Amino acid sequence: MDFEDTPEQERFRTEVRTFLAEHETELDHGDGAYLEEPGIDRINSLRKTQAVLFDAGLIGLTWPREYGGGDGTNAQQAVVNEELHRARVAGPVGHVGLGMCGPTILAHGSEDQKQRYIRRLLRADDIWCQLFSEPGSGSDLAALRTKAVREGDRWRIQGQKVWTTLAQHSRYGILLARTNPEARKHRGLTMFVIDMAAPGVTVRPLRQMNGHESFNEIFLDDVMIDDAERLGDIDDGWRVALTTLMNERMAVGGGGGEIGIRSDALIAHAAVRLPQLPAERRPLAYEALGRVLVESLAARYTGYRLQTGIEKGASPGPEASAGKLTAVRVAHATADLGLRLLGEDAVFSRSRDGDWRWATSQASVPGIAIAGGTDEVLRNVLGERVLGLPPDKPRSQEPATAKTNDR
């Protein structure tokens, strides 16, 4: 793979960099919803940033033009991502919609749904969430118990979802429910678009160990959904959900980006803290820093290789699981090293300016590790579908799912 810009990419990079510099005051330059509490003021600031980027053609660059995208290439999107990273612009608040819900609607939605939802999703006029996991079915998603019973041209929904990211700020969501209790568990599911403001929808934020309320539990009490809001065929929701899951792994860590605190922030942090360490501890600290940076580069370039395959017509596959696993490992190592470099100051890091992000990141990464499939589930996916190892269950049985947390 050639990592040098072509002349066309170089011109495009200059245009993007110029735009970001000229509109710096209109863009949020914080850490996004990952490290900062996603209160309403923060959400509105991030929505404004996403709208400015969309209006400039920098959001949804590879999506179809007829729905608000740019019909661009993954290489152009990589340039945009790199320049947003360089300018330290906060990530899109609509990351669930962009990475999971939108691709599912494009793949399985009706023309009417695409026209009504996609442009507003790209611009963050509407924030989306994903209602998959339930209290009794995390990794085994297909064991979900939320019911959808058809009544004429509508469906009555009854059940509960949990770990739904930003549900309290979402206008819409995609919902997986059981429509045929008599079918084998993977065969009786159907996907819907749900209006989060519909009667019977109750959202309760969950307090996490990082102090945030990013995740939520959702109660669905006789919620009515029109059949026109169904995604895909009745009882074919598992196939639709696989589209979501594959794209989710790309969004969480399989696309060449960094999750958590970025490597440049770790380098700046180490430049200040490393000289303060006792001389006998510095070699090990330098070695740890080098290892994190090398793994970060490996994860990024592996993601680029996956993006190149997609640009040539491939679909997100099990290889994205490897990218997600690696990205999470790097995020863990980055947060851990950053906190260790604080030494005794780490005890007070949550209350000191500039140091709070390391403790917050360390407390936040476990949630990302669960999103899109736990490490254990993803290793099973890689073992069976990439390495060809025998599955834990006989082939005659349904495969385990790869979903535990809705990001």
217 and 284 in a single domain? The answer is no
One DSSP character per residue, 132-176 reads: --BTTBSS-GGG---EEEEETTEEEEEEEEE-BTTGGG-SEEEEE
- Give the residue-averaged pLDDT of 122-133: 96
Q: What is the CATH number of the domain that holds 29?
A: 1.10.540
pLDDT greater at residue 136 or residue 268: 268
177 and 297 in a single domain? The answer is no
Do the domain assignments include residue 229?
yes
Do the domain assignments include residue 23?
yes
Domain count within the chain: 3
Digit-coded pLDDT (tens) for 151-200: 999 999 999 999 898 999 999 999 999 999 999 888 999 999 999 999 99
284 and 362 in a single domain? The answer is yes
Give Cα separations from 138 to 164, 184, 326 (angstroms).
Answer: 12, 18, 22
Residue 219: pLDDT band (50, 70, 90) is very high
- For 85, the token pair is 């990273």
Digit-coded pLDDT (tens) for 56-70: 999 999 999 999 999
Q: Residue 397 pLDDT > 50, yes or no?
A: no
Do the domain assignments include residue 282?
yes
- For 338, the token pair is 């950053």
Instruction: Give the range of the structural domain holding residue 75, as residue numbers without chain letter.
Output: 7-93
Residue 354: pLDDT band (50, 70, 90) is low
Residue 80: pLDDT band (50, 70, 90) is very high
Do the domain assignments include residue 270?
yes
CA distance 196 to 198: 6
pLDDT of residue 316: 62
Q: What is the CATH number of the domain that holds 172?
A: 2.40.110.10
Q: Which of 96-100, 205-209, 260-264 has the highest mean pLDDT?
A: 96-100
Residue 398: pLDDT band (50, 70, 90) is very low
295 and 368 in a single domain? The answer is yes
Give Cα separations from 330 to 257, 327, 354 (angstroms).
Answer: 11, 5, 21
49 and 83 in a single domain? The answer is yes
Can you state the angle between helices 282-311 and 74-86, rounded to 10 degrees? 150
Q: What is the CATH number of the domain that holds 361?
A: 1.20.140.10
